[in-house]
């Protein structure tokens, strides 16, 4: 039986049930040679460093409202003409 241990890369807190809620972070340095470092930090470490707080919540994907289809536009025009 395999056991997976989740570990915060900053404070080294460990858990086998993933209840420490690890979030991936990525730091990129632009120079002659771009350096990209990735790590998984727990929510507590992100709060301590100020990367995550009430003023800077985890980014949620904004719901993109699709533009109306041509059929919907035609229906709306017909409704407006009928009401007028």
CA 57 – CA 49 distance, rounded (Å):
13
Name the band, by pLDDT with cuts 50, 70 and 90, for residue 72. Answer: very high
Name the band, by pLDDT with cuts 50, 70 and 90, for residue 42. Answer: confident
33 contacts: CB under 8 Å, gap ≥ 6 = none
Contact 27, 36 (CB under 8 A): yes
């Amino acid at each position: 039986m395999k056991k997976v241990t989740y570990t915060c890369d900053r404070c080294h807190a460990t858990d086998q049930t993933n209840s420490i809620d690890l979030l991936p972070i990525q730091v990129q340095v632009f120079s002659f040679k771009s350096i990209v470092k990735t790590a998984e930090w727990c929510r507590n470490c992100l709060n301590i460093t100020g990367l995550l707080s009430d003023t800077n919540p985890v980014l949620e994907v904004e719901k993109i409202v699709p533009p109306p289809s041509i059929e919907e536009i035609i229906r709306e025009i017909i409704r407006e003409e009928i009401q007028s």
